[in-house]
Structure 1
Amino acid sequence: MKIIIIFGIFIHFFVYFSIADEEFVHPGLLHTNEDFERIKNKIELKEEPWLSAWKQFNTSRFARPNYSPRPQKIIYRGIGFPQNYITLCQDIAAAYCAAINWKITGNTSYADKSVEIMNAWSSTLTSIQGNNDIALAGGIYGCHFANVGEIMRSYKGWKAEDFNKFKGMMVNIFFNAGWGRILGNQPTSGSKRFYYSNWDLAQIGMAIAVGVLTDNREMFNEAIRVYKSDWYWGASSQFIYYLHPGYFGQTQEAGRDQGHNTLSIGLGGILCEMAWNQDVDLYGWDNNRFLAGAEYTAKVNYNFNGSGFADVPYITYANYYGDGVVQTMLGPGKGNNRPIWSLIYNHYENRMGISAPWSKKYAIAMRPEIGSGNINGGNGGSYDFLGFGTLLYQQDTISESCYPEGLTARVNGTKVDLNWWGPVYAINYSIQRSTTINGRFKTIKKKIGTQILTYTDSPGNGTFYYRVLTNGSTCAASNIAKAFIGTKLYFSLSFKNVSNGSLPIDLSENKFSIKLLNGASVGVGIKRKQTALSLNGNMQYAELENNLLSELSDYSIATWYSRI
């Protein structure tokens, strides 16, 4: 047996957290009762764009009151199998349209139709089979079906035993078809990184949806944990792979093709919205990282009214799928138009007041957003989203939004790269700098435009503090961001005077913490009077703080090790 003793650090980032064990909001997935009241009110007042979107909704072939379900005993998805999953997709679309119609009109015949479809499937379906694509079927369609059940759970005409049977189907068939294959009990030697982001995102959204539907807090919490971790392809930091200047977030699938790229963004928006309605903010997680990916993807694909495709930056991406793929440029299929943008635009601009110009352009260009099965001739991809975003997610325009936020200052050699999020109504920005956090801030740049929110400063060596203001100084300033130019010790893991059972400490001024996991311990070093990190087993590692390197763009790591 080989024992590896490391003097220094082995970095493997995870993040763990807990959510208070409290009751779920019902209905509380993609739609709440407050949402339905807003929609009903807008239609009654004949306000646009809701009225036109409502008329378009009722032209859907799945909004027919006489729709007949076609439940199957086994659903197949995957090449080489008798694929029949479109039947499931169509019945879910019809059940969803009926549920929406009931909540808006109050007509119980629509409620009965939705319940009829759900009962037919929960009484018939026994399994989902096929190749690895069954995980997508379980994830995407499981999330959709759970949303239907969540809307209808308050309908008195749905018998308790039938509702329980439906919930059992969602857990035993849909959840088990997806979660375990991608995120569950997989071997640890890289298999959790086998798929692209859309696979994991589908599972995360499904687990959130089924967790809320069945009041399973553990399932819900695990889905949130996975999204906030750094380990899975669907985790925020893997899904939004790289942040370019101005917070344009290059996505993991941008170099694959735009169909899968927009699929990932749409799935991300769905899971963020469902979590939001349970008071968990994934939209804002990691300084609005999801918005960075959405804006990048919208800019890549937007091409309406002869605008042409905009140029976007791209860095080489190495993917570990199969034997490994290195993607050096944007993937094909620009102009992939999915009904996903109204949800994203309305959250950031009209709820939060954060400018999302490319998502907004897309949402407006696609009004009214169509529903499931109504694009691309009704092929499989046309059922990836329930749709009707203009009707269901459009909010009143926010009345005011004034100050920038999310300012970061990242040192790159002798320069400081500043990036921030802008408010909706900003006209221009000013940058201010100080040498002390409570000192006098001096304006170093005025009238920065609103297209790309970034600025690079070259202040010389020292410690500097920055803030951003919009439209002169009439609004509050952004948060203050700190930058240090020069060379200093950022992190130093010391094992001196550390015995087994205690933890090494960070000698730098930052005082980062460390955890030893899976049996990692403090042992004897090369010199018998020294101590060191001892790794003697599978997946033993030292876990450092998740944001340890978040403010660094240029750094060196030194470590010493010995094999025994």
Structure 2
Amino acid sequence: MHVTRQISRRAVLKATGVAAGAASVATAATPSVAAGGAFAHPGLLHTGADLARMAAKVKAGASPYTAGYAKLTANRHSQSDWTPNPQAIVYRGVELRPRSTWKQNYWTLYNDIHAAYQNALRYHVSGDSAHADTAVAILNAWSAKLTKVDGSADRFLAAGIYGYQAANAAELVRDHKDFQLERFQKMLVDVFYSVSEDFLVRHNNGTPAPHYWPNWDLCNMACALATGIFCDDQTKVERAVEYFKHGAGMGSIKHAIPVVHDDGLAEWMEAGRDQGHSLMGVGLMGTFCEMAWNQGIDLYGYDDNRFLKGAQYVAKWSLGGNVPYTPYAQLDQRPGIQHPTAVAQASPTQVRPVWAMVANHYTKRRGLSATYLTQIAAKAAPEGGGGDYGPNSGGFDQLGFGTLAFTRDKATDTKATPRPAVSASPAVGGGLAATGSGEIVGWTAAAGVTAVAGGLLFLRRRDRGRHGAS
């Protein structure tokens, strides 16, 4: 099986110098994490406790879970008679060169992934094994055939989005007797993660990282994190978390949310571009934070709840409110070749299923006030999933069904020490310090250099020209 061995929690603490008594946070971390660092399964977007809650609430006829479940059962992708259509190579992006012979076919992948996810989720709520069998059949068909994600620069979007989604679908049936776990893990690493890693390290053959908008990074970060968790690979998880905090690309949190305003709202980088991509970004960052949280890593609260402030900004703007805006030129940042000078127009009618997860974390788990998140989550409810928001790829960017999956009662605080996120620090004289673990632990924000440990070094070439869409 092509996965890296898991590093023990004790080894990580020793190698990085993180104190064993690191500050605790109020978290829903699983007992396995608290007991010694083993990965929790299921442990991507949904834990075992989450799935049990959904089933119990629906069985009891509780609102709004029943409305959320009705959206799931009405979706054509959640039916147990779904037939998969696996491909050997998936292509995304229009190739303009005359010698090209390939054609886009990526919709076959995203439709099947959403069918697998929806059937698996429906199985956990209803207990009907036919849905689990269908999900397994879809995922096994793809792991038996898929060898590559290819195309134009858009192949990086395909690898990132469908990689994290495939991992989440598979996580829900990983213990099914017929599921080909090791084969699926190998496919995730070889086909999806390898492309996502390449993008986060080189941004399409050395293109300057700021060329790409935040969502390009965010989806590939989500793929890297989901793959690491699904494959019990501590190194991949640590690298993804380090990129979230300090990555060179626009998807790292202080690039995606560059300005915290005096009113407590934090500017979303893509708000100058358009509303749809900003909504997608909230969904992707929320997905990343939720998967990390379920392994005991608190990124929702990172940098004084910076994500909360950014999500509130997008929510207020999407509801029709006025929000402050700082042009990119004043930030000395360059997302691609576009330089918006004002916040884009937003329509209150545009909806994506991204809000329930984020709103419930901050208001229910954390007990914080989040007026705009609360309002927009209520407006978007009950959230559907792939197939409910149009037939094109944008309607499948999120797995969805947040009303069912993420609605929760107010939590009573439980304390648990988060899994430490390893980072590398510049050494005296401008070099890079190794952790001593012999493992690569992060993609760094240092200009031109990605980093770090045990003598392993990635260099990001800055002057290779600009490629791909932004």
The residue type equivalent to 1:291 in the other structure is: L
Is 2:253–2:307's contact at 8 Å kept on the other side of the alignment?
yes
- Partner residue of 1:31? 46
TM-score under structure 1 length normalisation: 0.65
Structure-to-structure mapping, 1:385-534, within 5 angstroms: 385-397=398-410, 515-516=427-428, 518-519=430-431
- Partner residue of 1:56? 71
- Partner residue of 2:396? 383
Quick check: 241-250 or 135-144, which moved more? 241-250
Separation (CA, whole Å) in 2 of partners of 1:360 and 1:330: 22
Q: Which one of the candidate residues 201, 208, 216 is aligned to 1:184?
A: 201
Q: Which one of the candidate residues 80, 83, 89 is aligned to 1:65?
A: 80
Q: Which one of the candidate residues 343, 353, 358 is aligned to 1:330?
A: 343
Q: Secondary structure at the match of 1:253?
A: helix
Q: Which one of the candidate residues 304, 316, 321 is aligned to 2:327?
A: 316
Is 1:349–1:398's contact at 8 Å kept on the other side of the alignment?
no
- Partner residue of 1:47? 62
Report the CA distance shift for 1:378/1:280 in structure 2 as closer, same or farther (over 3 A). same
Separation (CA, whole Å) in 1 of partners of 2:209 and 2:326: 24
Shift of 1:539: 6.0
Q: Which one of the candidate residues 229, 233, 255 is aligned to 1:238?
A: 255
Is 1:63–1:98's contact at 8 Å kept on the other side of the alignment?
yes
Report the CA distance shift for 1:189/1:71 in structure 2 as closer, same or farther (over 3 A). closer
Q: Which has the larger radius of gyration?
A: 1
Stretches of structure 2 that go unaligned for 5 or more consecutive residues are: 1-15, 21-35, 96-101, 414-424, 433-446, 450-470
- Partner residue of 1:166? 184
Shift of 1:22: 2.5
Q: Secondary structure at the match of 2:409?
A: coil
Q: Secondary structure at the match of 2:259?
A: strand
Q: Secondary structure at the match of 1:326?
A: coil
Separation (CA, whole Å) in 2 of partners of 1:184 and 1:173: 16
Separation (CA, whole Å) in 2 of partners of 1:174 and 1:355: 38
Q: Does 1:87 align with 2:108?
A: yes
Q: Which one of the candidate residues 127, 139, 145 is aligned to 2:148?
A: 127
Report the CA distance shift for 1:310/1:184 in structure 2 as closer, same or farther (over 3 A). same
Separation (CA, whole Å) in 2 of partners of 1:150 and 1:17: 32
The residue type equivalent to 2:363 in the other structure is: E
Q: Secondary structure at the match of 2:240?
A: helix
Shift of 1:17: 8.9
- Partner residue of 1:175? 193
Q: Deviations over 1:364-398 (max 9, x none)?
A: 111110111211x3111001001000000000146
Shift of 1:143: 0.2
- Partner residue of 2:267? 250
Q: Which has the bigger relative contact order, CA under 8 A and spacing at least 6?
A: 2
Separation (CA, whole Å) in 2 of partners of 1:224 and 1:519: 22
The residue type equivalent to 1:380 in the other structure is: S
Q: Deviations over 1:267-297 (max 9, x none)?
A: 0000000000000000000000001110000
Q: Does 1:76 align with 2:91?
A: yes
Report the CA distance shift for 1:276/1:261 in structure 2 as closer, same or farther (over 3 A). same
Stretches of structure 1 that go unaligned for 5 or more consecutive residues are: 1-15, 303-308, 401-512, 521-537, 541-564
- Partner residue of 2:366? 352
Separation (CA, whole Å) in 1 of partners of 2:200 and 2:52: 37
Q: Secondary structure at the match of 1:75?
A: strand
- Partner residue of 2:459? none
Q: Deviations over 1:298-351 (max 9, x none)?
A: 11111xxxxxx11111111134244x4322101245333110000000000001
Separation (CA, whole Å) in 2 of partners of 1:70 and 1:177: 22
- Partner residue of 1:268? 285
Q: Does 1:363 align with 2:380?
A: no
Q: Which one of the candidate residues 300, 324, 338 is aligned to 1:283?
A: 300
Report the CA distance shift for 1:209/1:244 in structure 2 as closer, same or farther (over 3 A). same
Separation (CA, whole Å) in 2 of partners of 1:325 and 1:176: 29
Report the CA distance shift for 1:178/1:155 in structure 2 as closer, same or farther (over 3 A). same
- Partner residue of 2:137? 116
Structure having the higher helix fraction is 2
Moved beyond 6 Å, runs of 4+? 16-21, 187-190
Separation (CA, whole Å) in 2 of partners of 1:328 and 1:54: 42
Shift of 1:127: 0.9
TM-score under structure 2 length normalisation: 0.77
